[in-house]
Structure 1
Amino acid sequence: MTPPPGQLILINGASSAGKTTLCRALRDALPDTAAGPFLHFSLDFFMFDADVLPRTLEGRVRNWNRIRPQVFDGYYRCIPALLSAGNNLVADLIIETTMQRDRLHELLVPYDVYWVGLHCPVEELERREAARGDRKIGEARRDAQTVHTFSAYDLNIDCRDSLEYQVERVIQGWAARRTADNFTESLDGG
């Protein structure tokens, strides 16, 4: 028997906005559905956690400009594969271009997607970026200029709110959502 497709909560925001922290908290707080519990899935797994990308002796990703498009597309393709296998997901990403947004739409249109924008002032992003020490300085500012310009969201939250409040807002919004094609409606501003 084929399991029902999973549901997806997508958290989009700039680097250092707190997406991973929010996703982990949501993963542990969201109730199970018919498809089971929620899993956290992030591009950072490829970039930092699993150490799968080739590195230079200095630790930088080798040939990043060349492999970047295929790594991103591979990550995007993993999301519907996991959903179609019956997994619920909380995924975090940084949508940088209309082309990336359109690719995600193409892949995710058959699924129940709840779209969350995690907003953070540039000054706070830069403070967090410097404190982390594992990001290239300036990435957060660059992301902040574009990441929220490609679509509307089902829910907007502020990184300065407490994590508990953010989790509560996402869970309440997700539970009250319409299960129509939220991703397409968000793209259309609906």
Structure 2
Amino acid sequence: MTGRIILLNGASSSGKTSIGHALLPLLPDPWFFIPADAIGAMRSTVHTRVLDDAEIADMLVRTRRGYHRAVAALASAGNDVIMDYPLSEQWRLTDLLTTLTGYDVTLVEVRCSAAELERRERARGDRPPGLARSQSLVYAHGTPDIAVDTTDTSPADCARQIAVLLPTVTPPKAFDRLRDRLLPRPHP
């Protein structure tokens, strides 16, 4: 039996991490919250300072592919996992659709107005200006299973909405529909 996966997809500063933390006490135990930033934070930065742009890009792709597989490994052992991850590049989605084939994935879109995203980016100070605006692809994948908007709704209230709606999501789920649309079908 594989665990379930909730994928919180949204632009940087949309509130994915705060919602992930708020979801943990609302869902039946045990759930793991594995934000992509936590995986990146485990990586040594000593050598990163001497890498050129191409080497950094390659390292980031390897890190993200590893994140996908780490989530799959946890779920394959029967663990339920919450991912906090922007589907901001097409290859990320394609790799996840392949890696998570056969898993119960609920795609949750975390929306926020552009003005509020920019305000949050400035307030955080740990993201490049314009990052959230550059991640418009996160919302281009079609209909999610659940959508929340953090513009005027707290992360705790969004988490409550997700926890209430989660049991009502029925197949085919968004990831199944995306897989059917985007991945080539194997020939018999």
| Preserved contact between residue 35 and residue 83 of structure 2 (Cα < 8 Å) | yes
Counterpart CA distance in 1 for 2:156 and 2:60 is 34
Q: Which runs of 5+ in 1 are unaligned?
A: none
Where is the helix percentage greater, Structure 1 or Structure 2? 2
| Preserved contact between residue 111 and residue 148 of structure 2 (Cα < 8 Å) | yes
Q: Which residue of 2 aligns with 1:66?
A: 58
Q: Which residue of 1 aligns with 2:3?
A: 6
Q: Which residue of 2 aligns with 1:45?
A: 38
Offset at 1:43? 1.2
Q: 1:25 aligns with which of 13, 17, 22?
A: 22
Offset at 1:180? 5.0
Question: What's the Cα RMSD here?
Answer: 2.2
Counterpart CA distance in 1 for 2:179 and 2:109 is 13
* Identity fraction in percent: 31
Q: 1:159 aligns with which of 121, 136, 150?
A: 150
Q: Deviations over 1:26-75 (max 9, x none)?
A: 1222123xxxx111011101333x35344439xxx994223121111111
The 1:30–1:55 alpha-carbon spacing in structure 2 relative to 1, beyond 3 Å, is same
The 1:187–1:165 alpha-carbon spacing in structure 2 relative to 1, beyond 3 Å, is farther
| Preserved contact between residue 40 and residue 91 of structure 1 (Cα < 8 Å) | yes
**Match for 1:47: what amino acid?**
G
Q: Could you tell me the TM-score, scaled by structure 1's length?
A: 0.84
Q: Could you tell me the TM-score, scaled by structure 2's length?
A: 0.85
Trace 1:35-184 onto structure 2 (pairs within 5 A).
37-48=30-41, 50-53=42-45, 54-56=47-49, 63-143=55-135, 145-160=136-151, 161-178=153-170, 180=172, 182-184=174-176
**Matched length:** 177
Q: Which runs of 5+ in 2 are unaligned?
A: 182-188
| Preserved contact between residue 30 and residue 38 of structure 1 (Cα < 8 Å) | yes
